[in-house]
């Protein structure tokens, strides 16, 4: 209990020192919060973008057009092969007569189609793959193309490649931004702790004269750095919550105009905790580096 009370006292003292210059302390925390909210905000936008695209984008499908000489036995064999393929979720057979009828109804070509002497459309299967990644879809399409009596396996995967490329670019950009801003936050904490060490130079010398260990002298500065980082993380979380709150209504209105029920999703509890712990870690790292660099230079005379 005595150790807990000692740590609590050190933490309270570190918090008082953090705000001993209120303007400087608040500005440091706000700068850390803004820097952290940039990559975190991009992450939230990517998560919401993935949800939106999953809602508005149709599931990828592969159309298998059969050869004109495929008979009922060939179709039954192919149906069995498709049902046994683990990469396929569902396969729907579309007879050539139904395909012609649907074409006439959907495109207003009834008069033109009525003048045809014969049905030019082949029988087909509409395949719904289990995978959604572009490479897996292309691989499945190539496999289906090799099946006997399949004349053409068609997949429009261009939009999938574009979507994946954009999301991959956004992820890489987020990681780069997070890395650069993390270095900046470590530098901010490093400089803050350096100034505190220089300010308390005489106190540190006196403490070492009466037998204080390096770990005892180091502890308040580590608390100071961790608190600054944690408060910066809380500030970043508040900024993201406020931004999502102000954007929620306009986004809902826009989605309703397009017949969608999409709504912005906030940071999850796990993501929020990760943000807090990561900001605390950055503050602690900056404080540790600063203490290791400058505290050893102060020795009692």
Count of domains forming the chain: 2
Among residues 156, 177, 192, the one where a domain terminates is 156
Decide: 289 and 197 in contact? Cβ < 8 Å: no
Cα dihedral 118, 121, 124, 126, rounded to 10, equals -140
| Domain end residue (candidates: 156, 182, 207) | 156
Residues 251 and 224 in one domain: yes
| 215 and 293, same domain (yes or no) | yes
Rounded mean pLDDT of the chain?
A: 80
Q: Are residues 31 and 165 in the same domain?
A: yes
The encoded tokens of residue 45 equal 């936008």
My answer on whether 71 and 48 are in the same domain is: no
Stated pTM of the model = 0.65
| pLDDT above 60: residue 161 | yes
Q: How many residues does the chain have?
A: 301
Q: Are residues 26 and 74 located together in one domain of the fold?
A: no
Tell me: do 190 and 234 sit in the same domain.
Answer: yes
Q: Are residues 75 and 138 in the same domain?
A: yes
- Residue 21, domain extent: 2-56+161-297
49 plus 185 within the same structural domain: yes
DSSP symbol at 95: -
Q: Are residues 152 and 174 in the same domain?
A: no
Is residue 297 predicted with pLDDT exceeding 70?
no
Confidence of residue 4 (pLDDT cuts 50, 70, 90): low
Q: Among 137, 156, 175, identify where a domain stops.
A: 156
Could you tell me if 71 and 146 lie in one domain?
A: yes
pLDDT tens digits for 39-79?
888 888 888 877 666 555 556 788 888 888 888 888 899 99
User: Does residue 165 sit in the same domain as residue 214?
Assistant: yes
Distance CA(252)–CA(249), nearest Å, equals 5
Nearest Cα residue to 190 out of 283, 296, 295, 298 = 283
CATH (domain of 136): 3.30.70.3040
The answer to whether residues 264 and 289 belong to one domain is yes
């Amino acid at each position: 209990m005595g150790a807990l009370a000692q740590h609590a006292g050190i933490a309270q003292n570190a918090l008082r020192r953090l705000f001993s210059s209120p303007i400087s302390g608040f500005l440091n925390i706000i700068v850390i919060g803004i820097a952290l909210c940039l990559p975190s905000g991009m992450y939230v936008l990517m998560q919401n973008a993935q949800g939106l695209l999953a809602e508005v984008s149709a599931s990828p499908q592969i159309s298998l057009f059969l050869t004109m000489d495929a008979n009922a036995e060939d179709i039954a064999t192919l149906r069995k092969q498709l049902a046994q393929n683990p990469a396929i979720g569902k396969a729907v057979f579309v007879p050539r007569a139904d395909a012609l009828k649907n074409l006439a109804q959907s495109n207003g070509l009834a008069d033109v189609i009525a003048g045809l002497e014969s049905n030019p459309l082949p029988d087909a299967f509409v395949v719904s793959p289990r995978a959604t990644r572009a490479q897996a879809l292309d691989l499945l399409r190539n496999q289906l193309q090799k099946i006997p009596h399949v004349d053409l396996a068609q997949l429009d995967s261009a939009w999938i490649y574009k979507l994946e490329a954009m999301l991959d670019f956004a992820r890489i950009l987020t990681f780069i931004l997070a890395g650069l801003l993390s270095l900046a936050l470590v530098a901010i904490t490093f400089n803050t702790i350096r100034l505190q060490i220089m300010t308390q130079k005489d106190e540190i010398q006196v403490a070492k004269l009466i037998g204080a260990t390096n770990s005892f002298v180091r502890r308040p500065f580590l608390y100071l750095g961790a608190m600054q980082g944690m408060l910066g993380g809380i500030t970043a979380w508040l900024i993201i919550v406020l931004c999502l709150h102000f954007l929620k209504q306009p986004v809902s209105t826009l989605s309703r105009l397009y017949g969608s029920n999409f709504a912005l999703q906030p940071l999850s509890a796990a993501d929020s905790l990760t943000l807090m712990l990561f900001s605390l870690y950055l503050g602690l790292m900056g404080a540790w580096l600063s203490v290791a660099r400058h505290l050893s230079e102060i020795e009692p005379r």
